[in-house]
Structure 1
């Protein structure tokens, strides 16, 4: 069967299944999309946290590499689900949590999208303001408007945008990286004493960056032909996301080690000034383009997740007007959060990242175990859209595992909001994400496997054989 032709009008599909006649695109687009999504200032700020939290530059780089290599595995495993399922990532959660039970993780994911949209929007607004001379608040709004337009057009235009700017980012940040490393002396940077607890905490923060892509990464692979193999989807996504994240986070760690408080006060200005006299305006544009590339994914994710949530309670058609309503509504909320929270950005952003970790990890463990180990990549798609289908209205087993995993994470949580009783024993380490992942994966596997042996195997739709 020939591939459908990619078009760049407003996307017709939303949360519904993508039939094979409409599948299109090449798997390499996953590399450029996720490479582009991470080549931006928010990733740089995340890497700077490794040094700001208390690691030496050398150990910060090690933690950045380890955290991304580990977190990227789970993120890319979710991406590989897209071609096989042909539906958005979070609506697939109905197969684990039930038709209505999936609303709980959906609501948490919507909060996550809004938070990332707001935090990235602050940095984009700062860059646009520094470039144009406009106040920060109107600049945040302008960046949000551009993201809104891209999100309304949807999947194909998002892929096209990310593909184009990925090459621009690679060239621009290569130049900035060379300027950063050759324009400053790294020999005199002080090296704090190594702390295993701090090292593990930083790995947790970095791994979170990759893991929190899990609830929407398959949204951007679901139009690929069903014959696309798990391996090619996985490695294209993994390489794009991990390479760019390590690069940008390493850049951030070096930058804050050199500049200290100057970087934390105005990260955007410090990064752009590395370009040298007369070139700053080019790199302010680069920063703004990067924020747009990241934030359009968050906005598109809110659209898919919010329509999935509301459609479970009240069925409705998703036409152009509905699409604009949901995207615009999410953009308004996210922009308002960005405007209100722009003052104390770095601290608020750190707390936000760590907060997300405890709720996203158990969902990821349950989803991946169900897809790869319980149902072996085969689902009844029609039943996912049917409240009376084989996946049920509420899967209390999955919800029990999900809540239990979060509760068992709490003793290991280390944030400024709450610190668990076992954190001090571990020297300040935060290993809650490891606990949450293992508990959710193991318990769900045992309960789901025992439950499926009690019933006849569900009817499944035939899948196309994978193409390696």
Structure 2
């Protein structure tokens, strides 16, 4: 039987389960996708922020690495669910939150996609304008948004192909930029200038952990087409290594060039991030090639944001309508709506991009750390990887409309972080007592886990074995 997804140019699956006869690919596709999506300029900005807000280059590097490893492990555990379930990530949240209860984290996920997509669109628009020699920022923004729209509409196969391309261009481009940084700056002298400070170190950890954790709500969207017998460890390690290596590489470049700027070398990365990298490359045709690499990587992650947002919006609307899939027309309309909103926000975005981005990442981290805690504890320790998939689409089924253990634990996990927050808009009283050290996400993770695990254990409704939709079982039997 020919896989349904291969019958046309545009992907036909949406929030429904991918049956076995349509599965394809290898775990290495997760490495290239997540490496290509993360070795990009916004990760350079994120690494720069650790230095901007006070960390020594050495401790910024170490803190970012710690956060990437921790957050990357959590993110990869979400990815490992994809082959077994064959579902988009946020649909599986209905097993914890209930069919209607899952709408709460879904709404927040859509806000997250908008925030990250806007940042991508602004920076990529700058790169496009530098290539074509246009001053009006709207031109580059609209061009980038249009390309994102096209690939998002085509779907899964083309997103992975773009990830492979971004991996190649990213390795070449960022290797060259790193070499040029070592040639132009006395890199060794930039490290160990300041003593260790816990506050700035933990900020660096939070920035990179937040970067990784925000992929959690949609990472399984891109592993769900892998064959069901794909090793969980292979999916985990390919996702983990691709995401952590790509991100740390880009963030390290951000640390180096920002520390060099503060030491009086090479101008200011903060004032013109895209143009600075072009100048670092040496200008001319080399700079244009670097801009193309920037656009390719940003296009990869922006497509993930658009694709993930359409999945989340469909999950919300189908929970209310009672449907379990969506037409190509619905897919198209949701993606167009998301990208139109992104382009409009990007056009009118504030110029204070760095500070806004730092506060946005930390705010989103406080929202999605409790969600990851609930989802992973339930999947691996409560239901033990056994899900009633048809019940995920039935408000009157096994998981019901609302699930109190997950919802109460999640909301508590968010609220308990408030006294520990450290943002430009609000600094919690406990954070002030700690000298500005932000440990809110750690508190949210632990409190959510401590509350949810015993409660969910007592109220466990998981089946004894996986339950698949009848049509998927029938298709598998027919193929055999």
Question: Where does 1:35-434 land on structure 2 (aligned, <5 Å)?
Answer: 35-134=35-134, 135-186=136-187, 189=190, 191-260=193-262, 262-278=268-284, 279-315=286-322, 318-434=326-442
The 2-side partners of 1:187 and 1:451 are apart by 56
C-alpha distance in 2, partners of 1:199/1:247? 18
Shift in Å, 1:7: 6.8
SS at match of 1:378: coil
8 Å Cα contact 2:36/2:300 also seen in 1: yes
* 8 A Cα contact 1:53 1:202, kept in partner: no
The answer to whether the 8 A contact 1:100-1:394 is kept is yes
Cα separation, 2, equivalents of 1:434 and 1:386? 34
Q: What's the secondary structure of 2:275's corresponding residue?
A: helix
Runs of 4+ with >6 A deviation: 1-5
Q: Give the 3-state SS of the residue equivalent to 1:265 in structure 2.
A: coil
**C-alpha contact (below 8 Å) 2:95/2:392 kept by paired residues:** yes
The alpha-carbon deviation at position 318 of structure 1 amounts to 2.0
CA offsets, 1:52-90, max 9 Å, x none? 010111111111111101111100000001011111000
- Give 2:459's match in structure 1, choosing from 438, 451, 465: 451
> Can you list the C-alpha shifts for 1:374-421, whole angstroms capped at 9, x where unaligned?
011110100001111100110012111111111111111111111111
Distance 1:132 1:57, change over 3 A: same
Does the CA contact (< 8 Å) of 1:151 and 1:299 recur in 2?
A: yes
Listed as ranges, the gaps of 5+ residues in structure 2 are: 474-480
Cα distance in 2 for residues equivalent to 1:458 and 1:105: 27
Separation (CA, whole Å) in 1 of partners of 2:2 and 2:338: 36
For normalisation by structure 2, the TM-score amounts to 0.93
Aligned-partner Cα distance in 2 for 1:408–1:57: 32
Residues 232 and 137 from structure 1, CA distance in 2 versus in 1: closer, same or farther, beyond 3 angstroms?
A: same
Residue 19 of structure 2 aligns with which residue?
19
Q: CA deviation at 1:175?
A: 1.2
TM-score scaled by length of structure 1: 0.95
Q: Distance in 1 between matches of 2:269 and 2:251?
A: 14
Q: Distance in 2 between matches of 1:149 and 1:296?
A: 9
Distance in 2 (alpha carbons) for counterparts of 1:165 and 1:398: 37
- CA 1:2–1:370: 2 relative to 1, 3 Å: farther
**Structure 1 residue 425: deviation in Å?**
2.4
Q: Aligned in 2, Cα 1:3/1:94: closer, same or farther, shift over 3 Å? A: same
Where in structure 1 are there 5+ consecutive unaligned residues? none
C-alpha distance in 1 between matches for 2:261 and 2:423:
25
- Aligned equivalents of 1:237, 1:416: Cα separation in 2: 33
CA contact (8 A) 2:106 2:312 kept: yes
Q: In the comparison of the two structures, how many residue pairs are matched?
A: 462
Output the CA distance in 1 between the equivalents of 2:261 and 2:408. Answer: 47
CA contact (8 A) 1:99 1:391 kept: yes
Q: Once the 2 structures are TM-superposed, how far is the Cα of residue 429 of structure 1 from its aligned partner?
A: 1.1
Q: State whether residues 83 and 229 of structure 2, in contact with CA within 8 Å, keep that contact through their aligned partners in structure 1.
A: yes
Give, in whole Å, the separation in 2 of the partners of 1:276 and 1:390: 61
User: Displacement, 1:290?
Assistant: 1.5
- Cα RMSD after superposing both structures: 2.0
Structure 1 residues 181 and 27: CA distance shift in structure 2, 3 A: same
Displacement of 1:342 in angstroms is 4.2
Query: Do the aligned residues in 2 keep the contact of 1:201 with 1:428 (CA within 8 Å)?
Result: no
Secondary structure, in 3 states, of the residue corresponding to 1:348?
Answer: helix
269-278 vs 215-224, greater mean Cα deviation = 269-278
Q: Which secondary structure state, in structure 1, belongs to the residue aligned with residue 229 of structure 2?
A: coil
Q: 3-state SS of the aligned residue for 1:26?
A: coil
Please state how far the C-alpha of 1:283 moved relative to its aligned partner: 1.0
Between the aligned partners of 2:10 and 2:190, the Cα distance in structure 1 is 51
